[in-house]
Amino acid sequence: MLASASPRRKLLLEQVGIAPDAIRPARIDESPTAGETPRNYCRRIARAKALSVRAADDEIILAADTIVVAGRRIIGKPIDQEQAKYFLQLLSGRRHVVMTAVAVRRRNRIRDRLVSSKVKMKRLRDDEIADYLASEEWRGKAGAYAIQGKAGAFVPWINGSITAVVGLPLTETAALLRSEGYEFGSR
């Protein structure tokens, strides 16, 4: 079962032959706690999502959380266009880190992995930001951009996992699922 409403995560799973039996988006408070590091925050949110959905004993729950980190600051999903513009201006011309934590739960056991990738965003012109905001692609995206979409033209390089930057590190996800007895793919 996938504890996420993200169409990107579902597509990434399908890409490697994993079809969730059900999709039950987690509904949790995603507010950071005082003094919480980005790594701890990302892992905590992924685990909380996995724990928040009801499941039968034989079900495996998969949850994930993706954040953008600029310096020590967590850049989540923008609440409106003005905040999206601010995030894009903040990331423009800078390197930042994209963290994705994936958590897998079966019965009372939960395992997780965190993948960090470094991303360089080119210096964005005002018209590029305006056009991107008009596209609405920023909605629901950590850091206000989607590397798999139009914003791919803003990123000259990454050091890490492209699937983690999109929202689900496939290598780590597959390993976690297999550790819980979920078999998929061809042999």
CA end-to-end distance (rounded Å), the chain: 23
Q: Of 101, 108, 96, which is closest to residue 45 (Cα–Cα)?
A: 101
Catalytic residue among 57, 65, 80, 112: 65
For the record, the structure tokens of 42 come out as 């990302």
126 contact partners, CB below 8 Å, separation of at least 6: none
Q: Is 65 a catalytic residue?
A: yes
The whole-angstrom distance between residue 139's C-alpha and the CA centroid of its chain comes to 14
For the record, the structure tokens of 121 come out as 């965003």
CB 59 within 8 A of CB 1: yes
In three-state secondary structure terms, 126 is: helix
Look at the block and give the residue holding tokens 């597959």.
174
**Residues marked as catalytic:** 65
